[in-house]
């Protein structure tokens, strides 16, 4: 299996999921500007969408969309509890988080990356993100992780968005309880290993 990734990108979330699941995989760095990989592959031939993450499986199939890749990864190792079983209400709750993180948090940062977007629009995006992160903060007031006592792939994805806030907005998270949550996830050995694996020479 091969995970196509880029630095500071949302591919960190499936990277964490793969390490939490203990699955064997390789990493392939993608240059998102040239669409070539570190070993010279044409990334558009791998994923015509041109963005990471993409997971090439052992049978050659390529799965894209981070919120879906992490579910596939978690389902390979059900005993890890990285996601509740398919068909249960708990699974829909995990999907509810994953979709919220993808569409409201991850994509909520989009205006902040765009140099052509005026500052007032960026300020409005930051305000909206603050309110959305407030919902995450409320969820972790009563439990260590989004789904309760145990870490799930939703936490790995949320962690990426918290890192993005720290990098693009300011080092302090908008809600105090989020900092403790960030540190809890950061301390996990699989998360440490993923961050180490993404350290560029
Ligand atoms: N819908 C995709 C979006 C992934 C995405 O936004 N990837 C960014 C990095 S975080 C990227 O590769 N951008 C480069 C591009 O769009 O060309 C998903 O949820 O996985």
pLDDT digit string (tens) for 114-141? Answer: 999 999 999 999 999 999 999 999 999 9
Question: Which residue has the CA at smallest separation from atom 2 of ligand 1?
Answer: 65
* 47 has a pLDDT exceeding 90: yes
Query: Which residues have a Cβ under 8 Å from the Cβ of 124 and sit 6 or more positions away?
Result: none
**Cβ–Cβ under 8 Å, residues 132 and 172:** no
Whole-structure pTM value: 0.97
Question: Could you read off the pLDDT of 144-198 as tens digits, one per residue?
Answer: 999 999 999 999 999 999 999 999 999 999 999 999 999 999 999 999 999 999 9
Q: How many CA atoms lie within 13 A of 90 on its CB side?
A: 10
Q: Is the beta carbon of 32 within 6 A of some atom in ligand 1?
A: yes
Average of per-residue pLDDT values in the chain: 97
pLDDT band at 142 (very low <50, low <70, confident <90, very high): very high
- 11 alpha carbon – ligand 1 mean position (Å): 8
Q: How confident is the model at residue 64 (pLDDT cuts 50, 70, 90)?
A: very high
The percentage of residues in the chain with a pLDDT greater than 90, rounded to a whole number, is: 98
What's the gap in Å between 141 CA and the centre of ligand 1? 30
State which of 51, 55, 63, 153 you would mutate to test the pocket of ligand 1, scoring each by most atoms of that ligand within 8 A of its C-beta.
51
CA atoms within 13 A of residue 49's CA, in its CB half-sphere? 11
Could you tell me the pLDDT band of residue 201, with boundaries at 50, 70 and 90?
A: low
Q: Average pLDDT of 75-102? A: 98
What pLDDT is recorded for position 200? 75
Q: Taking the CA atoms of 107, 110, 139 and 150 in sequence, report the sign of the dihedral they define.
A: positive
Q: What is the pLDDT of residue 2?
A: 98
Answer yes or no: is the C-beta of 65 below 6 A from any ligand 1 atom. Answer: yes
- For residue 5 the two structure tokens come to 């990734």
Ordered strands of the 2-5 beta sheet? 36-37, 26-31, 2-5, 54-56, 62-64
């Amino acid at each position: 299996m091969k995970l196509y990734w880029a630095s500071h990108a949302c591919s960190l979330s499936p990277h964490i999921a793969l390490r939490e699941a203990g699955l064997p995989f390789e990493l392939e760095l993608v240059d998102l500007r040239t669409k070539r990989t570190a070993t010279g592959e044409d990334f558009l031939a791998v994923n015509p969408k041109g963005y990471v993450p993409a997971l090439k499986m052992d049978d050659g199939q390529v799965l894209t969309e981070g919120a879906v890749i992490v579910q596939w990864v978690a389902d390979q190792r059900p005993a890890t509890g990285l996601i509740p079983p398919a068909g249960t209400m708990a699974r829909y709750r995990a999907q509810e988080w994953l979709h919220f993180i993808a569409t409201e948090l991850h994509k909520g940062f989009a205006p902040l990356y765009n140099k052509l977007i005026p500052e007032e629009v960026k300020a409005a995006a930051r305000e909206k993100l603050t309110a959305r992160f407030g919902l995450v903060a409320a969820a972790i007031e009563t439990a260590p992780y989004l789904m309760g006592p145990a870490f799930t792939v939703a936490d790995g994805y949320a962690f990426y968005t918290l890192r993005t806030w720290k990098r693009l907005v300011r080092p302090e998270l908008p809600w105090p309880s989020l900092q403790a949550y960030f540190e809890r996830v950061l301390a996990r050995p699989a998360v440490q290993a993923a961050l180490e694996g993404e350290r560029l020479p």
